[in-house]
Amino acid sequence: MTVLHLADEGEAADLAAFLARLLHYDRGAAVRLQVAGTALAVFGRPPSFEVLAIRAARLAKPYEDGLDVGLDITVSAGELLETVDESAATLTVPGAVTGPPWAGVLPPRGGWRPEPGLPAPDALRTMVAAAVAEFRSRTRELPPESRTRAELDRIGREIWTRTVGDTGLPVRAVHAAQSLGFLRPAQTAQTAHTSGSLSGQTSGEAPLALVSSGPWLRLRTPYGSIAVRRAGLGTLDVSVR
């Protein structure tokens, strides 16, 4: 078994919280892990939001397993969470699973450029709260015979596919960031996880930013990123690489 030593207990706790949130939306969730040097990137896709969530973590020492100096594997999120030891700041990589289609299409590691027009964090949180309140209000107003899954989904799509101003970023991406704990108020530079070249983040970057690369838009925060393809992720007809 491969054991990864995280930089500290805080890294382990935050990673465990991220995995638990993913499992809240999908008990059978899978995650793709990529490790190079002291950077760990964990990719997941909560189905309710149709976005790609990326959580970066720092390792205490560079990854090395024999001749392998990198790791790229798709595993069960639940099995991975069970191995996280917060007090020891370690996790054990479980056996590989057959990856879902999204795991074969990840955002690029480089080539990201800033996009203008992203509101401040408080404004984004207010936007999500207003959207949630609108969804609840509109669904409560439906007569019982019209409160079908199809109608609820239609209202949800109408609300969550709206864009944040002129940025092109769907509101559902901001909702996902809020729900996964990425949009919480910033703390100190030591607790804000902006390291990790695999996740497309480097230290010293702005705490909150919207960036793009090719067809991808990415909401980047100190605690993780939410990425969406401009045409939407949806069901991807691709094979896992």
- Give the tens place of pLDDT for each residue, 141-180: 999 999 999 999 999 999 999 999 999 999 999 999 999 9
User: What percentage of the chain exceeds 90 in pLDDT?
Assistant: 80
pLDDT value of position 186: 63
Domain residue extents for the chain: 1-241
Determine the length of the chain. 241
- Is the pLDDT confidence value at 197 over 80? no
Q: Phi-psi bin for 111: left (phi > 0), alpha (psi -120 to 50), beta? A: left
Contacts of 106 (CB under 8 A, 6+ apart): 32, 43, 52
Give me the pLDDT at residue 233, please: 44
pLDDT of residue 189: 39
pTM of the predicted model as reported, rounded to 2 decimal places: 0.86
First to last CA, the chain: 22
CB 139 within 8 A of CB 152: yes
> Mean of the pLDDT values across residues 204-222?
87
Could you read off the pLDDT of 40-62 as tens digits, one per residue?
999 999 998 999 999 999 999 99
- pLDDT bin (cut points 50, 70, 90) of residue 114 is very high
What pLDDT score was predicted for residue 68? 81
Give every CB contact of residue 236 below 8 A, 6+ residues apart in sequence.
101, 102, 104, 105
How much is the pLDDT for 187?
Answer: 58
